Amino acid sequence: MTSITLAVKSQQMRRGPTPVRSVLANNSIRLPDGGHVSIRPARPGDIELIQTYVRDLSSGSRYFRFLGAISELTTTELHRATHPGPSNASLVLESHRDGAPNMIGEARWHLSADGRTCELAASIADAWQRQGFGTWLINHIAAQVKSLGARHLMAEILHANQPAQRLVRKFGFHALPFSFDPKVMCFVKELR
Ligand SMILES: CC(C)(COP(=O)(O)OP(=O)(O)OC[C@H]1O[C@@H](n2cnc3c(N)ncnc32)[C@H](O)[C@@H]1OP(=O)(O)O)[C@@H](O)C(=O)NCCC(=O)NCCS
């Protein structure tokens, strides 16, 4: 079973209606209204798009995503987000209905120096949360970095961020008993 199939299967196990009906390809999911949601790598032309997305997140989601109170990304962070390297990349999640795509999520991952551990962080726009897209993003990253040789996924999550902790635990991460920052918990999952 592929990671994407797993994502859809977990959707099918949800109670009530789900927007995720079928996977069009590894990087696209069909919505019940006929639209679809896609994942693509961020590129240099996305600076304004990503900055607007971050500004439009609720302050709570921004705080959880960036582990502190920020209102927008710095020029350096925007450059990093839009210029992938061999061991790091950012992803943009977009919904497509009629007309222009609408950014509804993002993720960033980077590999450790030995290439074996991949740290990741993600967010989904507030109105699109709790519909399976965060799970889909993590599945997507897991498949991608596994093919690059990564053996573990790692995520730093604030103690107060129960939704993200539930998400990663459901995905099979476990909390390490220590952390360099007392506000943050470090979660790890072995990639099999
Ligand atoms: C964490 C986040 C990315 C999850 O994305 P999402 O698309 O809402 O997650 P999913 O719909 O795939 O949820 C999967 C599981 O996570 C848990 N979960 C997600 N949101 C939750 C919430 N608000 N309350 C409780 N559990 C939650 C649930 O177990 C859920 O499964 P269920 O819906 O079958 O119960 C999203 O809430 C977010 O963007 N938060 C702000 C940024 C952030 O916290 N990033 C993580 C730190 S880097």
**HSE, side-chain direction, 13 A CA sphere, residue 105:** 25
pLDDT in tens, 24-62: 457 999 988 889 999 999 999 999 999 999 999 999 999
Domain span at residue 103?
Answer: 3-190
Give the position, in ligand 1's atom list, of the atom nearest the Cα of 133.
Answer: 7
How far apart CA 29 and CA 48 sit, in angstroms, is: 25
Contacts for 40 with CB less than 8 Å, ≥ 6 apart: 27, 91, 92, 94
Closest-CA residue to 164 (of 60, 86, 69, 85): 60
Can you tell me the mean pLDDT for 82-111? Answer: 95
| 8-state DSSP, 144 | H
Confidence of residue 4 (pLDDT cuts 50, 70, 90): very low
Confidence of residue 23 (pLDDT cuts 50, 70, 90): low
Given its phi and psi angles, is residue 158 left (phi above 0), alpha (psi -120 to 50 degrees) or beta? beta
Q: What is the pTM of this model?
A: 0.90
β 152-158/117-124 pair status: parallel
Percentage of the residues of the chain whose pLDDT score is greater than 90: 78
pLDDT in tens, 115-159: 999 999 999 999 999 999 999 999 999 999 999 999 999 999 999
How far apart CA 5 and CA 11 sit, in angstroms, is: 10
The answer, yes or no, to whether residue 190 has pLDDT greater than 60, is yes
In angstroms, how far is CA 129 from the centroid of its own chain? 11
Ligand 1 surroundings by CB, under 6 angstroms: 14, 61, 64-65, 121-124, 129-135, 157, 161, 163-164, 166-167, 170
How far apart CA 148 and CA 143 sit, in angstroms, is: 9
The answer, yes or no, to whether residue 189 has pLDDT greater than 80, is yes
| Structural domains of the chain, count | 1
Q: Whose CA is nearest to atom 16 of ligand 1?
A: 167
How far apart CA 119 and CA 152 sit, in angstroms, is: 8
Mutation choice for ligand 1 from 15, 118, 124, 126, CB with most ligand atoms inside 8 A: 124
* Residue carrying the six token digits 């790890």: 188
DSSP count for the chain of H helices, then E strands: 6, 9
Q: Whose CA is nearest to atom 9 of ligand 1?
A: 134
Phi, psi values for residue 92, rounded to 5°: -120, 130
| CATH code: domain of residue 157 | 3.40.630.30
* Residue carrying the six token digits 């209606």: 17
Closest-CA residue to 91 (of 26, 159, 176): 26
**HSE, side-chain direction, 13 A CA sphere, residue 187:** 20
